[in-house]
Amino acid sequence: MRRLALTLVFSLAASLASFAQDLSQDQDAGTGELPPPSANLPVFASQPVSRPFEAMPGQTAASRVLFEGAGPSNTQIVIREILVGPGANVRLDALPGAGLIDTRSGSGVLRAGDRLDPLHIAGPVSVPAGVPLELTNRGDDSLLLRLYLLETR
Amino acid sequence: MSGRLSLAVWAAALFGCGTAAQAADDDWPHYRRDESRSGEQRHFSDLADPAKVPGLAIRWQWPPTPAGVGGAFYASPIVIDGRVFIGANNGKFYALDANTGALIWSYPPSPQPPLIGSCGSVGDVQAFGAYGILSSASPYKNTIVFGAPDPDPAVDGGLGSARLFALDQSTGALVWKSDVVARVNGCAFGATAEQHERIAYSSPLVHGDRIYVGIHDAGDDPIQNGKLIAIDADTGRIRPAFNFEATSARGGGIWNAPAAERDDVLFTTGNTSDGVVSEPVPNHGLSMMSVEARSGAINWQFQPVPFALDDDPDWAAGVSTERTGCGRIAASVMKDGWSYALDANNGECRWQFPATVPPSDHCRFPASGAHVHGDTDYKRPGAFWRNTFAIVTGGEALVAAGGVFNGYGRLHGLNVCAASPSHRVRWIADVPHNGGGGYALGAPTATHGIFYITTDQGHVVAIADPAVSPPAGVRCSQVLTPVASCTALGFSLVYAPAVLADVALTDGADAAGLRNEPAIANGRLFVATQGGHVYMLSP
């Protein structure tokens, strides 16, 4: 009887130890954020994406062409997206035709010549041709703009 | 024997309170494993060991023949006490031996007809009444409960009015059929004078002595009034004291498995605008809801997309809840690709991903919003692992042109408790697939930092959180942006986690059906395919 009791006590202790090990196995993993990725890590070759953004040389911005094709009455239509980094100021060459800028995320300001326009979601802004443009991201997040350009050929 | 299991054995031995049919800690007794639909197996096993997972391999296949069961599995297995339970779109429900894959019983027994109504083509997942069994079962005491159309001609002519069926777990004998909960009384597409109600994708929730199931439609032809029905789990009778209807007219279908959170039931609802000119009052569509379990009274409602922007971004994925380091969280994704995490106690929005509306709007899009909220295919629930939530979601490219498609085929690991949106993404895994769009991947499940997911290529893939296994590399949190300019443009460098295993199932059939998930039970993985096979895998 005593041996049986000892066996039971021993088995219970072993079970408790195993239970505690289960709990502590990876107690802290997954509870906090991961450290920033090391610079030594290889850049992951992701599955191909359709029309990735490309950095705009010398600017804290990236862009991509979504559409380029003939429009009506001897015009050319170009649709581009422009990503502007937080706090960045980006200069664009004067547009060859009239355009429209639609803000998709973030907020900022457009300077077209002497004109200043706020950029925000659901607030499209017309852009005149022939004047230098300046885009300023005044937010902490990226500013994503879609530019619809109509130029005469 | 593991610690938790051995404690359970001890408790049973000492107090005599165990029964053979009770689910054990390491079983997978519900869709998403538990009533909270966490998608997480907390019991440690070889499937949680990064050193052993690469040895993952198929141990049995049922049926062992290439032909399958003569139907497709859109539901997932549940595993209880050494048995695997699953239904197919051929209207048959099966019990298998978890060790061997041998068939123990099937229902209905021959020569009874399968559970398929006459309205539509047999096994068509969009049929009004002929869809068979499309969602996972749930246990109650010694029974197993699932929803299906009733072919009995005495029930609305056998068109496919649906009810719950409770079978004895050991024998497959019918214990009860519930009252009819979803009515089909006509087969004309778009007919508003007919009822085309279904319980197809709503896995029943067993909570206490009640069972809850959601009502939705088929292909919006036309949309039906969403309802949550409560059934007495002992008798199968509808509990009339419980009532929830999404609108006073039409819409707000409940396409998913309700979740339980203490005395509350949580679920999500579909659109209300399809073919409807004016907004119904009340409008509980496109919402995450919490209702009181006894009465159906609304505790809270979260509706991020207003009626004015309702272009059918149904909330098809259900709610997953978890007690995280930042409180009890209820999380899900809408079809448009935006994911949300709410305080499960009061419905307050903790975060939107991607963070698109200003904080002052509390994750709700203004009616004048510029974004598209359409009928895209983010339809699978996510899986929790502590403060990490893994889900197929639109991602940070969602607001860019065509960006909605860039979340397909990818699994995002999100930091649930991150204070800043810039820290939300923990990792992004590209999962090899056939390019099946929003149907490329099933719903993930998790165990101790290892995430399992099935694909339209008929693969099972194991992905390791970088906290438990070294990552494969680094990438930008916005997948359209190169790493070199990522942080300057306002995004974050995040991890590409390691893929520990990628196993091809032998039938090669799509394993990413709408309610397909890998069930993690007793150190084994159980998955089912549209080829009509069930597989058991282990390291």
B105-141 pLDDT tens trace = 999 999 999 999 999 999 899 999 999 999 999 999 9
Residue of B25, B415, B485, B493 to mutate, testing the A interface (most A Cβ within 10 Å of its Cβ): B485
ipTM of the complex: 0.86
Count CA within 13 A, CB hemisphere, residue B248. Answer: 5
Closest in B386, B410, B481 to A30, CB measured: B386
pLDDT above 90 for A10 = no
Looking at the DSSP assignment, which residues form a beta bridge with residue B138?
B145
Phi, psi dihedral angles at A9 (to 5 degrees): -60, -45
pLDDT band for position B276 (cuts 50, 70, 90): confident
pLDDT above 90 for B2 = no
Burial group, residue B210, by CB count within 10 angstroms (0-12, 13-18, 19+): buried
Closest in B1, B448, B489 to A83, CB measured: B489
Closest in A121, A137, A141 to B370, CB measured: A121
pLDDT above 90 for B370 = no
For residue B55, CA distances in Å to A108, B52, B432, B520 come to 52, 6, 19, 16
Cβ contact (<8 Å) for A62 and B401? no
A15-46 pLDDT tens trace = 434 433 443 445 577 789 999 998 789 999 87
Lowest-pLDDT choice from A2-11, B57-66, B108-117, B416-425: A2-11
Query: What is d(CA A27, CA B467) in angstroms, rounded to the nearest whole number?
Result: 11
Q: Where are the domains of chain A?
A: 54-152
Cβ contact (<8 Å) for B473 and A26? no
Cβ contact (<8 Å) for B449 and A17? no
pLDDT score, position B173: 98
Looking at the DSSP assignment, which residues form a beta bridge with residue A143?
A84
Return the axis-axis angle of helices B3-15 and A2-24, rounded to nearest 10°.
140
Burial group, residue B435, by CB count within 10 angstroms (0-12, 13-18, 19+): exposed
Cβ contact (<8 Å) for A144 and B43? no
Cβ contact (<8 Å) for B493 and A141? no
Contacts with A16 from chain B: Cβ below 8 Å: 3, 7
pLDDT above 90 for B208 = yes
Query: What is d(CA A111, CA A127) in angstroms, rounded to the nearest whole number?
Result: 9
Q: Hey, what domains does chain B have and what are their CATH numbers?
A: 45-71+381-539 (2.40.128.630)
pLDDT score, position B109: 97
Q: B415: helix, coil or strand?
A: strand
> Average pLDDT for residues B322-337, to the nearest whole number?
97
pLDDT score, position A3: 56
Closest in A46, A85, A122 to B479, CB measured: A46
Answer yes or no: are the C-beta atoms of B280 and B272 closer than 8 Å. Answer: yes
Query: What is d(CA B223, CA B204) in angstroms, rounded to the nearest whole number?
Result: 21
Answer yes or no: are the C-beta atoms of B90 and B67 closer than 8 Å. Answer: no
Q: B34: helix, coil or strand?
A: coil
> Average pLDDT for residues B147-158, to the nearest whole number?
97
- For residues A29 and B352, the model is more confident at B352
> Average pLDDT for residues B12-41, to the nearest whole number?
75
Answer yes or no: are the C-beta atoms of B318 and B332 closer than 8 Å. Answer: yes
Query: What is d(CA B245, CA B125) in angstroms, rounded to the nearest whole number?
Result: 24
Distance from CA of A113 to the nearest CA of B (A): 25
Cβ contact (<8 Å) for B409 and A12? no
Answer yes or no: are the C-beta atoms of B374 and B311 closer than 8 Å. Answer: yes
Contacts with B370 from chain A: Cβ below 8 Å: 102-104, 121-122
Return the percent helix, strand and coil in chain B, to nearest 5: 10, 35, 60
A37-92 pLDDT tens trace = 987 899 998 788 888 999 999 999 999 999 999 988 888 999 999 999 999 999 99
B486-506 pLDDT tens trace = 999 999 999 999 999 999 999
pLDDT score, position B150: 98
- The DSSP bridge pattern shows strands B227-232 and B210-215 to be antiparallel
Nearest residue of chain B to residue A19 (CA atoms): B3
Cβ contact (<8 Å) for A122 and B368? yes
Residue B51, token pair as written in the block: 């050193």
pLDDT score, position A45: 84
b/e map B174-184, b = 16+ CB within 10 Å: ebbebebbbbb
Residue B481, token pair as written in the block: 């942006």
As a whole-number percent, the residues of chain B with pLDDT over 90 amount to 90
Cβ contact (<8 Å) for B488 and A60? yes
Helices (runs of H) and strands (runs of E) counted in chain B: 1, 34
**CATH H-level superfamily of A54-152:** Jelly Rolls (2.60.120.10)
Nearest residue of chain A to residue B480 (CA atoms): A52
Nearest residue of chain B to residue A139 (CA atoms): B490
Looking at the DSSP assignment, which residues form a beta bridge with residue A67?
A79
Mean pLDDT for chain B?
A: 94
B336-348 pLDDT tens trace = 999 999 999 999 9
Contacts with A105 from chain B: Cβ below 8 Å: 354, 356, 399
